[in-house]
Amino acid sequence: MSSPKADRESEPTLLSVQGDDEPEPALLHRSLASRPHNVESASGSYLTLSSGRQKLDACGGAAVAIIGHGNTEVTEAAVAQMLKVSYVHTMQYGTDSSLELSNCILAPHPSSPNFDHGLVKAYFAGSGSEVNDAALKLEKQYFFEKGEPQRKVYVSRQQAYHGGTIGAISISGMPARKVPYDGIMMPHVEFVGAADAFHRKGKAETEGEFVERLVKEIEELFERAGPKNIISFIGETVSGAALGCMSAPKGYWPAVRELCNKHGILLHLDEVMCGMGRTGTYFAFEQEGIKPDIVTIGKGLGGGYAPIAGMLINDKIIDVIRKGTSVFNHGHTFQAHPVSCAIALNVQGIVKRDKLVERCAKKGEKLRQLLEAAFAGAEYVADIRGGGLFQTVEFMQDPYTKKPFPKHVGFGAKVQLTTFDLGVAVYPGAGTVDGEEGDHVLIAPPYTISDEELQIAVVTLKKAYDKTVSGLF
Ligand code: PLP
């Protein structure tokens, strides 16, 4: 990869370009008021815009491009699969690529060969939202077939994001994303507080006391709803965009697992963003010492080469369905799509062969060093957190009292947009996207990123921060 073209000149300062002088495109983009930069090509860690400018993709899109862009091994695997079997309806047929992909994902991963996750079946669909919806249905069907049809409550957490379909947004705890849809959210979804030690308010408490308080809140909710009415507890193992690479405090997940076990409630971990090696282990829950009942994965599964996500299920659930109807009462036209599966299989094969999970863990340490050095003493940097290549820098007006910037300042958004302007894409945090609270950016580059590219990303982010600060006064 040649070095990036300097990207300092007359670039619009906004990520989205106003297209006043051009006709509005027929494509419905997120925004009707502006249009995004067009990406003409992508290779390695870089995107090339139609303007010819290059951007270092330090967030892999949305933490997706784990092996970088333009990998010809993957494109060859895609073509080979298209020539073999491009499509069959996988509710009626099997294909080698889907069978091999499930084996590949469920087999012990070479990055942690002794880790026993207890998951025995995989289901694939097109997006994280779809597999989270599929999981909600499978969880309900499990209890229906088990003779507990009264269970109908899902417990999720504030500030969670699980996707955009009605099921997935209903279990998400981001109120701003639900505003126009008030009244049509799924019923029977209850929320508890986020496992967010950093932003907690009120009296000082130790990490252990905080965990106790969170668990007590869950227990009280279980009691109020009636533990025999609850289907599952759903959470991102490491919270993604909304909270910014936020790990739960130590002991939280084992305590939640125990509580779920006590009442026969299923534990559904959403690793759509934090899974597939992103935090330095293949599954983020490997670091928590627990075994979930259902795990959803996405983003890095196909590395962006195909729209593919997955639901992984343990034998407790499968046994009940097997002894019952033997049919998962759900399906999609494009589930386990043969080409998507072949692509994901190839991407995951590269991850194994090139030891990219291990590399992600190592590069994560490097990224942390660079961030800490660049932002040492920075007045408005409140926190640098995360693990592997999944890290966040959070900004506050007063980091000592944890006073955020007033919303109208849009500090995080300004940092993100200025970073882009200077040639590096970082991922916008919640405050930047949907009017939710918080000012942070995420750095989630391909696992193949070089040290030099990491350095460019961090130096550029710091420059953008400095520019944003000087613009404040
Ligand atoms: N779950 C998590 C944790 C996510 O971060 C996302 C997307 O950002 C989703 C689910 C939804 O995935 P998708 O956008 O592929 O539907």
In angstroms, rounded to a whole number, what is the distance separating the alpha carbons of residues 351 and 329?
A: 33
**Can you state the percent helix, strand and coil of the chain, rounding each to 5?**
40, 20, 45
Distance 293 CA to ligand 1 centre (A): 19
Residues pairing with 49 in the sheet: 39
Look at strands 153-157 and 230-236 and give their pairing.
parallel
41: enclosing H helix or E strand: strand 39-43
Mean pLDDT value across residues 143-161: 97
In angstroms, rounded to a whole number, what is the distance separating the alpha carbons of residues 318 and 98?
A: 18
Residue 204 confidence (pLDDT): 85
8-20 pLDDT, tens per residue? Answer: 334 444 455 555 5
Residue 322 confidence (pLDDT): 98
Share of the chain above pLDDT 70, in %: 93
Distances in Å between the alpha carbon of 319 and those of 27, 133, 232?
A: 45, 21, 17
Residue 9 confidence (pLDDT): 38
C-beta of 132 in contact with ligand 1 (< 6 A): yes
- DSSP structural state of residue 397: S
DSSP string, 223-249: HHH-GGGEEEEEEESEE-TTTTSEEPP
C-beta of 172 in contact with ligand 1 (< 6 A): no
Distance 4 CA to ligand 1 centre (A): 30
Q: In 3D, which of 412, 352, 356 has the Cα closest to residue 388?
A: 356
C-beta of 67 in contact with ligand 1 (< 6 A): no
Residue 6 confidence (pLDDT): 38
Distances in Å between the alpha carbon of 129 and those of 168, 184, 210?
A: 6, 17, 30
Residue 431 confidence (pLDDT): 53
In angstroms, rounded to a whole number, what is the distance separating the alpha carbons of residues 452 and 284?
A: 27
Distance 360 CA to ligand 1 centre (A): 21
Residue 7 confidence (pLDDT): 42
Per the CB < 8 A criterion, the answer to whether 391 and 419 are in contact is no
Mean pLDDT value across residues 219-228: 98
Distances in Å between the alpha carbon of 155 and those of 130, 140, 215, 227, 312?
A: 18, 13, 13, 11, 19
Distance 461 CA to ligand 1 centre (A): 25
Residue with token string 């090696």: 277
Model pTM? 0.95
Is the pLDDT reported for residue 32 higher than 60? yes
Ligand 1 nearest atom to the CA of residue 132, by list position: 10
Mean pLDDT value across residues 358-377: 98
Which is more confident, 1 or 459? Answer: 459
